[in-house]
């Protein structure tokens, strides 16, 4: 499996995404946040090399008998 | 005359139990030391002098009247300012928390008070525990250097004699890093062994509470007091029936894993040399050294990032939208970026963690414990941003400090740092011992063996 290519978002795209999520991001901070977000995505993208689709459960199971107890 | 500051927690405790030492003398000694060092070091957010003296007098009277509560009775300790104490603010060293007052004690606070410990005050953290340097606090061994973080205030306070022990939290090394940089023992127990109820979270699935002190024995005494199942913490687990933190036995025949990969990459030579000496020291005591390959080493930090950034962003989702300007720049930036991560990234990290945990479980079928450096380099200067490695690469101080500690947070395995020697600048080096889940006692046992004086060769 290859690592997915992570394309950086522009400052404008970052600002638009933040707005859509209700995050009041200062426009002058948008380029820096775009860079940091790209760095985070790049680090985490290494995980695409792992065979998690074959070896890991697709989602966490919710135990209905445990009521609202998490995990 | 006995100088209380020269005693370990266990020694002070034994002297109190034998009525050779009063908790009042201990509190006086700690407060005097705080008076001497605090202005320069800034380890504490708050010190409760009057309350501590009153508690010490009460402890003295109780012990005189036969109401001795155990090894923590009358011992001054400090709490990282993430643990709630009823009626006091839990500041998390952040302006965002201005005006906060805890309504109830954290589980750790209650456990310490039940044991008779005297909580002298609360200590600084890197803001919301989201960092590895605690920039407002200085290292008492060299005030021009970082104490590490995020439990930097707790480590600094214990290192300069302001408390005999402290409780910290650890999401990617936040107990072990400052303990290593300040020459202390620090222990991140198995995930679920110590309740985090009433503790300000950073990232729920990685957060642990644990003790810091001068010796492994001291850390064990604190752990004994604070561990145990707590239904209020959804991660809390009941340890196996055979779990005995005080088990004392030799390391003879114990299989000690020495990593071939990952843990010695980009590590300063004096640090690597200290780990090799610690391994030889264990071998001399009968342990068997086994070279091992660290599984999925390239994916440990990516998994930790995916979990930590997403969970921290969720914890702060409301405050970062309402009060972003009150956060420090570094934490604000990470939290704002974290808001923009898609949910799939978090699920990917969780699934990767499942695979990593499985492979690490197999690793521990070949060995009993793993011996590694705690951090790749000793305490950095206050103004230092990066470490330069021999191959010409650079690494940020924070990324270097988290690199060797985070695997134990991703896997939830117990991990201990013990000081072992010093580098060329006289700064302490920490060696790390990791074990199987709920094999905390064995990890501490190996830590005690490492503390044993070296035999002449």
In a domain, A3, yes or no: no
Q: Are residues B117 and B167 in the same domain?
A: yes
Residue A2 lies in a domain: no
Query: B interface mutation test: which of A40, A57, A60 has the most B CBs within 10 A?
Result: A40
Q: Could you tell me the pLDDT band of residue B53, with boundaries at 50, 70 and 90?
A: very high
In the DSSP assignment, the letter for residue B393 is -
Residue B455: pLDDT band (50, 70, 90) is low
Same domain, B221 and B266: no
pLDDT of residue B456: 60
A10-33 pLDDT, tens digit each: 999 999 999 999 999 999 999 999
- Asked whether residue A35 is domain-assigned, the answer is yes
The domain that contains B287 carries what CATH number? 3.90.1300.10
pLDDT in tens, B410-420: 999 999 999 99
Range of the domain at B306: 255-420+429-451
Say yes or no: B35 and B146 in one domain: yes
Residue B201 inside a domain? The answer is yes
- Count the domains in chain A: 1
As for how many domains chain B has, the answer is: 2
Q: Which of B202, B59, B39 is nearest to B126 (CA)?
A: B202
Closest by alpha carbon to B215, among B453, B456, B457, B455? B453
Query: What's the whole-number average pLDDT of chain B?
Result: 96
Are B217 and B303 members of one domain?
Answer: no
Return phi, psi of residue B208, to 5°: -135, 150
The C-alpha R_g of chain B, in whole angstroms, comes to 21
Q: Does B299 touch chain A (CB under 8 A)?
A: yes
Q: Indicate if B265 and B376 belong to the same structural domain.
A: yes
Is B384 a domain residue?
yes
Active site (annotated) includes residue B174: yes
By the 8 A CB rule, do B83 and B108 touch? yes
Residue A71 belongs to a domain: no
- Same domain? For B199 and B270 the reply is no
**pLDDT tens-place string over residues B127-184:** 999 999 999 999 999 999 999 999 999 999 999 999 999 999 999 999 999 999 999 9
Confirm whether B330 is domain-assigned: yes
Contact present, B439 and B421 (Cβ < 8 Å): no
In a domain, B265, yes or no: yes
- From B296, B312, B304, B270, select the one nearest B398 (Cα to Cα): B304
Tokens of residue B420, six digits: 């072992």
User: Per the domain annotation, does B236 fall within a domain?
Assistant: no
Domain extent, residue A25, equals 11-66
In a domain, B129, yes or no: yes
Q: Is the pLDDT of residue A1 over 50?
A: no
Check CB contact under 8 Å for A23 and B339.
yes
Residues B436-454 have a mean pLDDT of 94
B219 shares its domain with B175: yes
CB contact under 8 A, A47 and B354: no
Q: Is the peptide bond before B150 cis (omega within 30 degrees of 0)?
A: yes
Of B305, B340, B355, the CB nearest to A44: B305
Q: Are residues B168 and B27 in the same domain?
A: yes
Give the per-residue pLDDT at B302.
98
Q: Which of A36, A45, A50 sits opposite B337 (nearest CB)?
A: A36
């Amino acid at each position: 499996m290859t690592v997915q290519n992570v394309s950086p978002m522009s400052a404008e795209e970052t600002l638009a995404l933040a707005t859509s999520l209700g995050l009041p991001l200062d426009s002058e901070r948008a380029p820096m946040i775009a860079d940091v977000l790209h760095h985070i995505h790049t680090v985490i993208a290494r995980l695409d090399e792992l065979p998690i689709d074959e070896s890991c459960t697709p989602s966490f199971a919710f135990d209905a008998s445990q009521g609202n107890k998490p995990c | 005359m006995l100088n209380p500051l020269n005693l370990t927690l266990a020694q002070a405790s034994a002297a109190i139990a034998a009525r050779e030492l009063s908790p009042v003398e201990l509190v006086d000694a700690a407060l005097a030391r705080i008076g001497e060092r605090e202005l320069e070091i800034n380890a504490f957010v708050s010190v409760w002098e009057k309350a501590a003296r009153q508690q010490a007098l009460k402890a003295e009277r109780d012990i005189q009247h036969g109401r001795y509560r155990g090894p923590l009775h009358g011992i001054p300790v400090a709490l990282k300012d993430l643990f709630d104490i009823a009626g006091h603010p839990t500041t998390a060293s952040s302006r965002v928390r201005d005006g906060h007052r805890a309504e109830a004690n954290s589980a750790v606070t209650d456990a310490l008070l039940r044991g008779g410990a005297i909580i002298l005050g609360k200590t600084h953290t890197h803001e919301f525990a989201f960092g590895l340097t605690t920039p407002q606090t200085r290292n008492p061994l060299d005030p021009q250097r970082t104490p590490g973080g995020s439990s930097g205030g707790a480590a600094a306070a214990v290192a300069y004699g302001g408390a005999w022990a402290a409780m910290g939290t650890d999401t990617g090394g936040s107990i072990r890093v400052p303990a290593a940089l300040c020459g202390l023992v620090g222990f991140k127990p198995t995930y679920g062994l110590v309740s985090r109820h009433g503790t300000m979270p950073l990232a729920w699935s990685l957060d642990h509470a644990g003790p810091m002190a001068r010796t492994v024995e001291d850390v064990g005494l604190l752990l004994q007091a604070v561990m145990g199942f707590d239904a209020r913490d959804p991660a809390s687990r009941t340890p196996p029936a055979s779990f005995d933190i005080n088990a004392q036995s030799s390391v003879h025949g114990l299989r000690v894993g020495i990593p071939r990969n990952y843990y010695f990459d980009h590590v300063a030579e004096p640090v690597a040399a200290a780990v090799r000496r610690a391994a030889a020291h264990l071998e001399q005591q009968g342990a068997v050294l086994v070279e091992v390959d660290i599984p999925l080493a390239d994916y440990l930090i990516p998994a930790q990032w995916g979990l930590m950034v997403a969970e921290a962003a969720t914890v702060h989702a409301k405050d970062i939208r309402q009060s972003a300007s009150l956060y420090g720049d570094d934490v604000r930036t990470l939290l704002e970026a974290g808001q923009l991560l898609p949910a799939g990234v978090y699920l990917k990290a969780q699934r990767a963690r499942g695979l990593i945990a499985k492979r690490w479980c197999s690793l521990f079928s070949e060995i009993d414990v793993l011996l590694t450096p705690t951090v790749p380099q000793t305490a950095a200067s206050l103004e230092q941003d990066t470490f330069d490695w021999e191959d010409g690469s650079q690494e940020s101080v924070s990324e270097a400090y988290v690199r060797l500690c985070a695997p134990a947070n991703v896997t939830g395995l117990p991990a201990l740092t013990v000081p072992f020697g010093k580098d060329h600048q006289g700064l302490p080096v920490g060696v790390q011992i990791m074990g199987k889940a709920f094999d905390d006692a064995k990890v501490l046992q190996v830590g005690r063996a490492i503390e044993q004086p070296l035999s002449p060769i």
